[in-house]
Amino acid sequence: MSQLTTHILDTTKGRPAQGVTIVLYQQENDGWKQLAQGITNSDGRIPDLLNKEVLLQPGAYKMKFETATYFGLQSIQTFYPYVEIVFSITSNEHYHIPLLLNPYGYSTYRGS
Protein backbone atom coordinates (compact mmCIF):
# COMPACT_ATOMS: atom_id res chain seq x y z
CA MET A 1 0.00 0.00 0.00
CA SER A 2 1.12 3.54 -0.72
CA GLN A 3 2.16 5.80 2.16
CA LEU A 4 -0.65 8.17 1.16
CA THR A 5 -4.18 7.07 0.29
CA THR A 6 -7.54 8.77 -0.17
CA HIS A 7 -11.20 7.89 -0.52
CA ILE A 8 -14.19 9.99 -1.58
CA LEU A 9 -17.72 9.25 -0.47
CA ASP A 10 -20.60 11.14 -2.08
CA THR A 11 -22.78 11.57 1.01
CA THR A 12 -25.81 12.56 -1.08
CA LYS A 13 -25.82 9.12 -2.68
CA GLY A 14 -24.15 7.20 0.14
CA ARG A 15 -21.75 5.79 -2.46
CA PRO A 16 -18.13 6.23 -3.52
CA ALA A 17 -17.43 9.11 -5.91
CA GLN A 18 -16.07 7.62 -9.13
CA GLY A 19 -14.28 9.71 -11.75
CA VAL A 20 -12.91 12.52 -9.56
CA THR A 21 -9.50 13.85 -10.58
CA ILE A 22 -7.16 14.32 -7.63
CA VAL A 23 -3.85 16.15 -7.80
CA LEU A 24 -1.21 15.85 -5.05
CA TYR A 25 1.13 18.78 -4.41
CA GLN A 26 4.10 19.39 -2.12
CA GLN A 27 4.76 22.87 -0.72
CA GLU A 28 7.98 24.26 -2.06
CA ASN A 29 9.04 27.71 -0.81
CA ASP A 30 6.04 29.97 -1.54
CA GLY A 31 4.45 27.68 -4.12
CA TRP A 32 3.24 24.16 -4.78
CA LYS A 33 4.95 21.45 -6.83
CA GLN A 34 2.74 18.79 -8.43
CA LEU A 35 3.78 15.27 -7.45
CA ALA A 36 1.01 13.02 -8.75
CA GLN A 37 -2.42 12.93 -10.34
CA GLY A 38 -5.09 10.27 -10.75
CA ILE A 39 -8.81 9.58 -11.12
CA THR A 40 -10.91 7.76 -8.55
CA ASN A 41 -12.13 4.28 -9.40
CA SER A 42 -15.55 2.72 -8.72
CA ASP A 43 -14.63 2.47 -5.02
CA GLY A 44 -13.79 6.22 -4.86
CA ARG A 45 -10.07 5.46 -4.49
CA ILE A 46 -6.84 5.83 -6.45
CA PRO A 47 -4.83 2.76 -5.50
CA ASP A 48 -1.64 3.89 -7.26
CA LEU A 49 -1.52 7.65 -6.65
CA LEU A 50 2.03 7.11 -5.36
CA ASN A 51 4.31 4.16 -5.94
CA LYS A 52 4.55 1.88 -2.87
CA GLU A 53 8.28 2.59 -2.58
CA VAL A 54 7.85 6.40 -2.45
CA LEU A 55 8.20 7.95 1.02
CA LEU A 56 7.17 11.58 1.33
CA GLN A 57 9.52 13.91 3.13
CA PRO A 58 8.20 15.76 6.19
CA GLY A 59 6.42 18.93 5.16
CA ALA A 60 3.18 20.45 3.90
CA TYR A 61 1.17 18.77 1.16
CA LYS A 62 -2.23 19.27 -0.41
CA MET A 63 -4.71 17.24 -2.37
CA LYS A 64 -6.89 19.05 -4.86
CA PHE A 65 -10.18 17.29 -5.63
CA GLU A 66 -11.76 18.44 -8.93
CA THR A 67 -15.39 18.32 -7.79
CA ALA A 68 -17.03 20.54 -10.46
CA THR A 69 -16.37 18.01 -13.21
CA TYR A 70 -17.70 15.14 -11.07
CA PHE A 71 -20.99 16.91 -10.32
CA GLY A 72 -21.21 18.45 -13.80
CA LEU A 73 -21.22 15.02 -15.43
CA GLN A 74 -24.33 14.30 -13.37
CA SER A 75 -25.94 17.66 -14.25
CA ILE A 76 -25.73 18.69 -10.59
CA GLN A 77 -24.74 22.22 -9.60
CA THR A 78 -22.10 22.50 -6.89
CA PHE A 79 -21.02 25.40 -4.74
CA TYR A 80 -17.41 24.15 -4.59
CA PRO A 81 -15.67 23.76 -7.98
CA TYR A 82 -12.80 22.05 -6.18
CA VAL A 83 -11.75 21.08 -2.67
CA GLU A 84 -8.19 21.51 -1.43
CA ILE A 85 -7.07 19.69 1.69
CA VAL A 86 -3.74 20.82 3.12
CA PHE A 87 -2.04 18.49 5.59
CA SER A 88 1.35 17.80 7.18
CA ILE A 89 3.51 14.72 6.76
CA THR A 90 5.65 14.24 9.86
CA SER A 91 6.86 10.62 9.61
CA ASN A 92 7.05 7.57 7.34
CA GLU A 93 3.76 6.16 8.65
CA HIS A 94 0.64 5.70 6.50
CA TYR A 95 -1.62 8.74 5.92
CA HIS A 96 -5.22 8.42 4.73
CA ILE A 97 -7.09 11.53 3.57
CA PRO A 98 -10.83 10.81 3.18
CA LEU A 99 -13.30 13.29 1.72
CA LEU A 100 -17.03 13.22 2.49
CA LEU A 101 -18.62 15.21 -0.30
CA ASN A 102 -21.96 16.63 -1.40
CA PRO A 103 -22.78 19.52 -3.77
CA TYR A 104 -22.96 22.12 -0.99
CA GLY A 105 -20.61 20.82 1.66
CA TYR A 106 -17.70 18.59 2.51
CA SER A 107 -15.72 17.31 5.47
CA THR A 108 -12.48 15.46 6.00
CA TYR A 109 -10.47 13.88 8.80
CA ARG A 110 -7.31 11.87 9.29
CA GLY A 111 -8.28 8.34 8.43
CA SER A 112 -6.52 5.07 9.07
Nearest to 87 by CA among 2, 26, 14: 26
Taking alpha carbons only, the member of 79, 109, 99 closest to residue 22 is 99
Q: What is the pLDDT of residue 13?
A: 96
- What pLDDT, in 10s, does the model give residues 11-49? 999 999 999 999 999 999 999 999 999 999 999 999 889
Q: Over 90: is that where the pLDDT of 1 sits?
A: no
Domains held by the chain: number = 1
CATH of the domain at 9: 2.60.40.180
Q: Give the integer Cα–Cα distance in Å for 46 and 21.
A: 9
How do residues 59-72 score in pLDDT, each as one tens digit? 999 999 999 999 99
pLDDT of amino acid 43: 98
Provide the residue range defining the domain that includes 88.
Answer: 4-108
